[in-house]
Structure 1
Amino acid sequence: MAFSLSIMLILGLTFVLAGMVKGMIGLGLPTVAIGLLVLVMTPAQAAALLVIPSLVTNVWQLMAGPSVTAIGKRLWLMMAGIWIGTFLGIGLLTGPDPGPVIGGLGGALIVYGTIGLLGVRLTTAAGAERWLSPLVGAATGIVTGATGVFVIPAVPYLQSLGLGKDELVQALGLSFTVSTLALAAGLWHRDALPLADVGLSVLAVAPALAGMVAGQHIRNRVSPQAFRTCFFAGLVVLGGHLVFQAWG
């Protein structure tokens, strides 16, 4: 992808907005970024540009929690499932026909946005976590590999485990970090992570961090519930547009 002025402007604005969302509610950077970028490029290109800013912001979130070791021991089966599922699904993202991927991405955004708007909260019994974690991880990995979005079903599942606030934020950071690394590895394996895109991805870190800091400041001045409602409604609208773009 060429380093044109228009691409740089699109990248900058997209990652400022995506970082702002993450700063406000602790997640949403990859979802917003890839959802907007596929409007002007292929899903594989959008996923490649997402890798570095997503990795940096999610490692930051992961390291801010109480204990990386403890949360890693609890969720390692889920993380293993994410790796396996991502490599099973990556062929769709890097395939010659972007239509199904764009449609699938739109569907994922609609589902995620609808869950957020309805305030759905699930509960996982303690005895079910050991066998359910790898299945949820594999499903998340397949969605990640196919669309570049790694929130479904990982986020609702992690929210269902009864974790404390800090533990949940850290668990989300771990899941997103592993998903980002698995996505990068899958793209590289498919020769879909060229150095030019890596360079653009590095440049996207600054606007993503700037947006994240701005979002953290805004969080103290705006009702989080009002912002979440607007955010999830926006995802549903964006998802609907992508579905129409793919199959309309």
Structure 2
Amino acid sequence: MNELVLVVAVAATFFAAGIVKGVTGMGLPTVGMAVLGAMISPLAAAGLLIVPAVATNLWQLLSGPALGPLLRRLWQMMAAISAGTLAGAAWLASGHEHATTALGLALAIYAAYTLCARQLRVPAAAEPWLSPLVGAITGIVTGTTGVSVMPAVPYLQALGLARDDLVQALGLSFTVSTIALAVGLGARGAVTSDQLALSLLALVPALAGMWAGQWLRGRIPAATFRRVFLICLLLLGTQMALRPLL
């Protein structure tokens, strides 16, 4: 791909991912990995996403009302996410040829589940053992694919949190996942200073997209936007998963 075309495509991807984040409160790394993973390797895409993902997720995390209570409730899940991500990052850092397939499967499964599944509820008595289990699985998926939505997002949605607390809990999970992934890749020499510089530049279109998404939030039905987004994600993830067979 021509270098100028690639730069424009990357900037457009981060702007679009920012819009999704601004409208729905999530999705920047998911969209970024989905689109960039179709153009460059998942490892390179994960490197570009580090700064925009950390910055926007920290913004989401720190703007909520209940950080202390959420940390006390979810610390075991966050610890397991960190451990699983650090372990799984070895696979992504290796540049394994099946990384794109794994990424596509993760995206397709998340989109299909979110479109079709009924809202679940987790009994309070199950949280002490289920939180670290979900965290460990989420970490492994994050480390191997760069995508941190499954199964953390459905699990957090099933805890019955208030809307603002849920948005903050998602920000906490995504922040921990992204930082752990950055540490895991960096420790293996898979993230260079040049990649971090490009990732810093990518923050500009991502923040512009978030602003545009927040402006759009009150002007379009959020449920309709989310459904279209998930259908597109399902199609793209399926195409990535099946690419070796095509």
Q: Counterparts of 1:66 and 1:131 in 2: how far apart (Å)?
A: 26
Q: Runs in 1 of length 4+ with deviation above 6 angstroms?
A: none
Q: CA deviation at 1:6?
A: 3.0
Q: Counterparts of 1:83 and 1:247 in 2: how far apart (Å)?
A: 33
Aligned AA (1:46): A
Q: Which of residues 144, 147, 151 in structure 2 aligns to 1:146?
A: 144
Q: Counterparts of 1:122 and 1:247 in 2: how far apart (Å)?
A: 35
Q: Counterparts of 1:114 and 1:234 in 2: how far apart (Å)?
A: 11
Spell out the pairing of 1:67-86 with structure 2 (5 A cutoff).
Answer: 67-86=66-85
Q: Which of residues 197, 216, 219 in structure 1 aligns to 2:217?
A: 219
Task: Report the counterpart of residue 135 of structure 2 in structure 1.
Answer: 137
Q: Judging changes above 3 Å, is the alpha-carbon distance between structure 1 residues 39 and 161 closer, same or farther for their aligned structure 2 residues?
A: same
Task: Report the counterpart of residue 20 of structure 1 in structure 2.
Answer: 19
Deviations 1:155-188 (A, max 9, x none): 0000000100000000000000000000000110
Equivalent pair of 1:112/1:152 in contact (CA under 8 Å): yes
Aligned AA (1:106): G
Q: Counterparts of 1:134 and 1:122 in 2: how far apart (Å)?
A: 18
Q: Counterparts of 2:137 and 2:114 in 1: how far apart (Å)?
A: 19
Equivalent pair of 1:89/1:142 in contact (CA under 8 Å): yes
Structure 1 unaligned residues grouped into runs of 5+:
none
Task: Report the counterpart of residue 164 of structure 1 in structure 2.
Answer: 162
Deviations 1:170-224 (A, max 9, x none): 0000000000000000110110010111001000111101101101111111111
Spell out the pairing of 1:159-238 with structure 2 (5 A cutoff).
Answer: 159-238=157-236
Aligned AA (1:29): L
Q: CA deviation at 1:120?
A: 2.8
Q: Counterparts of 2:156 and 2:239 in 1: how far apart (Å)?
A: 28
Secondary structure of 1:204's aligned partner: helix
Q: Counterparts of 1:43 and 1:221 in 2: how far apart (Å)?
A: 34
Q: Counterparts of 2:53 and 2:86 in 1: how far apart (Å)?
A: 19
Q: Judging changes above 3 Å, is the alpha-carbon distance between structure 1 residues 23 and 94 closer, same or farther for their aligned structure 2 residues?
A: same
Q: CA deviation at 1:7?
A: 3.2
Equivalent pair of 1:84/1:141 in contact (CA under 8 Å): yes
Secondary structure of 1:168's aligned partner: helix
Q: Counterparts of 1:87 and 1:104 in 2: how far apart (Å)?
A: 17
Structure 2 unaligned residues grouped into runs of 5+:
none
Q: Counterparts of 2:174 and 2:140 in 1: how far apart (Å)?
A: 14
TM-score (normalizing by structure 2): 0.96
Q: Counterparts of 2:203 and 2:44 in 1: how far apart (Å)?
A: 16
Equivalent pair of 1:102/1:246 in contact (CA under 8 Å): no
Percent identity, please.
Answer: 49
Spell out the pairing of 1:56-75 with structure 2 (5 A cutoff).
Answer: 56-75=55-74
TM-score (normalizing by structure 1): 0.96
Compare 148-157 and 79-88 and name the one that shifted more: 79-88
Equivalent pair of 1:103/1:247 in contact (CA under 8 Å): no
Deviations 1:13-43 (A, max 9, x none): 0000000001011101000001111112111
Q: Counterparts of 1:56 and 1:243 in 2: how far apart (Å)?
A: 29
Aligned AA (1:53): P
Compare 35-44 and 160-169 and name the one that shifted more: 35-44
Task: Report the counterpart of residue 111 of structure 1 in structure 2.
Answer: 109
Equivalent pair of 2:89/2:184 in contact (CA under 8 Å): yes
